[in-house]
């Protein structure tokens, strides 16, 4: 299970109390910045897949601000090798878009 890192204020979910839909609010400046990082960073070996996964995260995020797809599920859904997906997820964590729930930081 992945949790979106909100420390960067890139995205936030907004719940509509009248409906059971979840809306995602995206900060356009940060979205452009992360897109540029993904597309130009030499450490990102698969920029198109990383952007595709990022869009998938936006579409699949639940109202608890969590994204529960596994690397195995993504590899099957996108018809991409599992190791490639794990490298993309690792990269997205390295630029602070994602954080693993087990790595979650607690502030007192």
pLDDT tier for residue 90 given thresholds of 50, 70 and 90: very high
Q: How many whole angstroms separate alpha carbon 7 and alpha carbon 97? A: 9
| Sheet containing 98-100: order of strands | 66-67, 2-4, 98-100
DSSP 106: -
Task: State how far the Cα of 9 lies from the Cα of 51, in Å rounded to an integer.
Answer: 18
Task: Give me the pLDDT at residue 108, please.
Answer: 27
Report residue 3's pLDDT band, with 50, 70 and 90 as the boundaries.
low
Each residue of 9-65: pLDDT tens digit? 455 555 544 455 666 777 788 888 899 999 999 999 999 999 999 988 888 877 777
Which neighbouring-strand residues pair with 24?
13
């Amino acid at each position: 299970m992945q949790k979106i890192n909100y420390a960067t204020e890139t995205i936030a979910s907004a719940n509509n109390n009248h409906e059971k839909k979840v809306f995602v609010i995206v900060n356009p400046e940060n979205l452009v910045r992360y897109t540029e990082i993904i597309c130009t960073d030499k450490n990102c070996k698969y920029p198109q897949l990383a952007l595709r996964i990022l869009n998938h995260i936006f579409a699949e995020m639940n109202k608890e601000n969590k994204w529960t797809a596994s690397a195995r599920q993504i590899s099957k859904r996108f018809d991409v090798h599992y190791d490639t997906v794990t490298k993309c997820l690792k990269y997205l964590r390295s630029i602070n878009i994602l954080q693993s729930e087990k790595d979650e930081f607690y502030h007192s």
